[in-house]
Structure 1
Amino acid sequence: MSETVVEVRNLVKEYVGRKGNHVALSGVDLVVPAGTVTAVLGPNGAGKTTAVRIIATLSAPTSGSVTVAGIDVAENPRAVRGLIGLSGQYAAVDGRLTGYENLRMLGRLYGLGGSRARTRAKELLAMFHLEDAAGRAASTYSGGMRRRLDLAGALVARPPLVILDEPTTGLDPRSRGELWDVVEELTGDGTAVLLTTQYLDEAERLADDVVVFDKGRVVAEGTPTQLKSRLRVPSAHVQVLNPNSLRVATELLSRMNVRTDPATVRDGWFAADAPYGSRSLMLILSRLYGTGIDVHDAYVSAPNLDDVFFDLTGDEDAGRHHMGAPQAERIVR
């Protein structure tokens, strides 16, 4: 069992204002094991950033407890800061310094000796493909380059916990992919990664566990597969070549204990449960072909994290904003 790096218990954060109190977090529990990525999702105002700020020692909780590598955040914030690499929503680099100087300076601030700081800066510049710009002032970098430099700075001290708050905002697709590769390398080395993101494909690609916030509470948690299975099992969509074969096809599947959806039976198409994805579809196709029923087209569709997000939070605008094409695996065409 993986060592627990972050443990949050019954976390509450309340803001007092002239017009009354606002509860940003209400009894949040969260665990981040070593060597894993935990993605925190939720609509704007759900409490994600508030929780991250408390874990990063940037804000104090009203009640509850947070520990990082066994150290209480409230009791010893200075020690905790030495265990965290943080990359916020906006790049925080010194534009007057070169990329190399930014990273070397951070290394010295983290307590690395001069030689180690120089070596680590060069390693990170190579990792984030910034070697050619290493000697240029950061103020001349593009937005995406500054973002990559900021992310590199979060890794200078090889911390046991890396917090990435919407890390790929402003990055082009290639840079996003490179960052994903870096995150996977980090977890392979045992680093725990706490990721907040508005890109649900990013969470689906990277996360071992997903925690969904809404209105200051955790409304669901689990692996991406577990959360998607809450909605429905994958379905196989099949179009037979001869529409007159539809009735025979659905009767055959019924005898196989495969549930078909009568509402989908039209124009030669029908849909059936496919709990094992493409394996289920291949079994259906094999039985149809074996009975002499020709198939014109077939694919598998499954719920994705966009569907989960909308189902749990009701945030239709957020879901549509980041909605990709439905997950479908085309088998026959």
Structure 2
Amino acid sequence: MFASSTFQSFSALSFVDGSPVAAPQPAGGLLRAAPIVPPRALAAPYLDRRPQLQALRRMAAYFRNGITAGVIPPALLGRTFTWDLTTHAYVDDAAYTPAAPSDRVRIILYGVSPATGDIIESPLTPVGYADLIDESTTSPPVDKVHIIVTGGSPTSPGTVYIDYTVSAQVTGNPITAFTAAATGSVTDGTNSITFTATYGVTQVNTDNPDVAVDVTWALSNPALQLTLHETLTLSDADHLTFNVGEFSVKRGTETVTLTGSVSTVLSTGVFDLTLSVDVNRSRWAMVTGNEAGVTLRHPDGTQLSDPEGQAFLDLFGLWLTSDFAMAILFGPPGSLMGA
């Protein structure tokens, strides 16, 4: 579902040139460098989470400027952004009709390359549009953005593929902590997934902010629930520890749970990884390793079979996808809130 063409087109807004909701560099480059793809092998290059960790860390830097009377700058309200083939960037298109309503900024979405995430210019194909609506309040002081991604065009709307809100509050003056909450749904036009999430950042006024993420995903068909509790802790700007309190997948009476930690030096790529997988609270597999190699075994020390190894990669890939989907969903409103 997160690999659908519509979601990928929306994700491009976090890094393409001219996007009014692009992540500040270098976060945008990191988002671009870490697409939502599963690991292809049980090898260190594919289990190195450094791009995702860096992107999440950089995202924490968005939220430093506090609550204002509105999230979306007044100059963007009522404007529509389209892709310009001459500048190879999004531009404010004053001639676009119909004009966007005055309470939002509208961005036309285009087909993107599955390999790079870049907008395909030949031919340039509109696939939908994203509306970011300012629903902020000053009493109580809450930044709030409602994001709606629709297929078709503003003159002939199609399926609503993404519909969610992100609200945020801050602590301290100057700001020392930030909490964002998101709730909504994503669909590929056939199946849907609902989610609730919180994203907390402390030490936002430093170069080593700490992050806590809590997410619940609920898939409609098949009935499936994903739960994620994790934290990022930086001892300094270069040394990061990623703790997975729980990443669980529940279907019917069966629950598979991933726990553990990843420690890394961002500048060099050196990392240590220790993870455990339980099935219905019984230990099934353990994975340990570093940049030199990774070992995956049963608790008794025996190796996993090829199908079992693939099952672990699928679970690991689902964890990456869940993490990065949240980075994409929090990205555009986070960029505005940190503006």
User: TM-score, normalized by length of structure 1?
Assistant: 0.26
Larger Rg over CA atoms: 1
Structure with greater helix percent: 1
